[in-house]
Structures are given as C-alpha cells and as structure tokens.
C-alpha cells in the first residue's frame, strides 16, 4: 500500500481531462473552490481541446497526464470529469514515475479504469470522489459532498453509516479487506486486460449511471462468471441513477441486485451515496476497510495520507 502526501495550503493541484471534454465555464466556476482552500491550480495545457467525444487526441490527453506526474510542484491530480476515453491511456502512463513520486489521484466514473490500473501497477491509494466540472461547479452542491474532500488535508474518521443515507442489507455478515472498485461499466471493461480488477479477499464497490436494467444484469453476470463476485470479501452497492428501460417488459434494479448478490457468502449492502448522486461521498480506494451489516457500517482506514 503506497500512500501519497496530504495537501497543505499553498500546494499546487493539477486539473486535467483524460476522458470527455469538460464544460469550460463549469470548470471555471469550480476552480475558486480549490483556491479558497488555499491551493494553487494548474490546468492541463490541452484541457480545452476537443476530438469528437474526447477531450483532445489520445496523445494530447496523455501528455497532460504525464506532465502533471512529472511536475514536482503538483501534489494532486484532480480529473475535471469522466465520460469516455480514460482506458485508452492506461497502457501509456508512466507508472514507475507515479510509484517513485506518489500523488493524490482523485475522480470517479470513467476514471475507475485508472483507479484499477494504478492500484494494479503501483499499489497507490487513490480517491473515488466528486470532480470539478461535473460536481463541484453545481450551485446546489451538497455539504456532505464538499466535506468529504477534507480527507485530503487531514486525518479523517472515515465511517459510512445510516446518518448519511439509508442502507439495505442484501446479504448479512461482517468482512474486512482492501476497498476496490468503482463504476460497474468500467470494472467490467477491465476483464481480460492487464489491468483486470482483482476482488479476491477485497470489498468491492459498484455504481453506475444511465444504464438500462438489462445492461446492469449483463455486467453483473459477466462479473459473476469471471468469479469476481464470489471471490470478494464483501460488496458495497453505491448509486445507480438515471436507470431507463427502453425494452418491455423489464426488470427493476432491486430484483437484479437481489438475483446476483443476495446469495453470496459475503456481506452485501446497498444504498451508499457514492458515485453519480448527491451527496457524492468521496472515499479512498486500496485501503483496508470493514463492513458490518448488523451495525450497517462501512469503516475505512483513517488518515490514509502521509
């Protein structure tokens, strides 16, 4: 387990777009959030580029990423938004440089592929959390979402319970293991690649957005057939939002989750406000965690930064 250093006032963070192009006006509205925290902000030189559904060509997006990795002033890399395209960069990142000079890596959604790849290659703790152009620019952003960023500055008690959101137990029990995962679509896309998600003895987080029920069914079935569900020590179900069925008849999400997760010999809870939702609670990935269905808690190692 490799830990990056905590941020201090005066530190510089880098903001880049490794996936889809951000709305630059929204990004501009989010930058003062960081400067008000006493941070300096350096924006990737290609961040405003557009290449179809991508924020510039692969070469341009990769250049921004590797430049931020090499920049000694940059202590954290915050991703502007998700969308599509991050996996296209995974094979060309400078993982050795990141391992030698670990930095905070923060984002979610399409960034899930990077979380998995970085953990597989370096063991670095990364953060699944709200992003500037997609979350922090919203005028009605939830206070719990903002509060979760405090873990980047100081040791924070990281326990998720029903004070944050109602939780439902799908399979009872208690389990401990490193917390891994993120967006279900991206986790599924790692299968059969050098960055395939490792769930053995780990607590698996899944969440997604804008997927019809049959797609969620298909992806969970693929994880099941790949052994990823049965190998997990526990499963944490985050937000599944904007679920729209374009087929009739259809199934609801609850039935699908119950079908795949309720008979696991590991604890499973759903209802976590993690992912495409408000609040969107930022959490560390790659850290030891414990889930307890009787207490309805998910507890993560506090003070994960140096």
Catalytic-labelled residue, pool 207, 211, 239, 270: 207
Per annotation, catalytic residue among 20, 109, 134, 189: 109
Q: Active-site residue 109, yes or no?
A: yes
Q: Are 76 and 7 in contact (CB under 8 A)?
A: yes
CB neighbours of residue 49 within 10 Å: 16
For residues 287 and 125, the answer to whether their CB atoms sit within 8 Å is yes
Q: Which of 128, 148, 239, 276 is catalytic?
A: 276
Structure tokens at 226: 């790949």
Whether 207 is a known active-site residue: answer yes
The token pair at 123 is 């063991």
143 part of the active site: no
Question: Position of tokens 């890596």?
Answer: 105
CA distance to 62, 84, 168, 232, per residue, from 66 (Å) = 6, 19, 41, 33
50-54: Cβ within 8 A, 24+ apart:
50/21, 53/20, 53/83, 53/84, 53/85, 54/19, 54/20, 54/21, 54/84, 54/85
52: Cα separation from own chain's centroid? 24
CB-CB contact of 149 with 6 (8 Å): no
Residues labelled catalytic: 109, 207, 276
């Amino acid at each position: 387990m490799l830990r990056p250093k905590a941020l201090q006032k005066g530190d510089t963070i880098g903001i880049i777009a490794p996936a889809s192009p951000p709305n630059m006006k929204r990004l501009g509205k989010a930058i003062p959030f960081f400067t008000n925290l006493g941070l300096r902000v350096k924006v990737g030189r290609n961040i405003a580029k557009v290449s179809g559904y991508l924020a510039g060509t692969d070469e341009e997006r990769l250049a921004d990423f590797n430049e931020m990795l090499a920049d000694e002033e940059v202590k954290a890399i915050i991703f502007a938004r998700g969308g599509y395209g991050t996996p296209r960069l995974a094979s060309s990142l400078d993982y050795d440089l990141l391992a030698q000079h670990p930095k905070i890596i923060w984002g979610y959604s399409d960034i899930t592929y990077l979380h998995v790849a970085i953990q597989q290659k370096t063991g670095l703790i990364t953060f699944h959390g709200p992003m500037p152009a997609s979350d922090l620019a919203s005028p009605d952003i939830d206070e719990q979402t903002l509060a979760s960023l405090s873990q980047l500055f100081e040791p924070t008690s990281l326990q998720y319970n029903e004070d944050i959101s109602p939780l439902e137990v799908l399979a009872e029990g208690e389990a401990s293991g490193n917390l891994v995962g993120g967006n279900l679509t991206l986790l599924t896309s790692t299968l059969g690649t050098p960055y395939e998600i490792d769930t053995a003895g780990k607590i698996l987080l899944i969440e997604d957005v804008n997927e019809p029920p049959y797609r969620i069914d298909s992806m969970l079935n693929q994880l099941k057939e790949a052994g990823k569900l049965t190998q997990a020590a526990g499963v944490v179900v985050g937000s599944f939002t904007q679920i729209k069925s374009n087929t009739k008849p259809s199934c609801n999400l609850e039935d699908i989750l119950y079908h795949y997760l309720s008979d696991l010999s590991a604890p499973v809870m759903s209802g976590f406000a993690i992912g495409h939702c408000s609040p969107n609670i930022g959490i560390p990935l790659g850290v030891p965690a414990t889930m307890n269905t009787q207490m309805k808690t998910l507890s993560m190692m506090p003070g994960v930064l140096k």
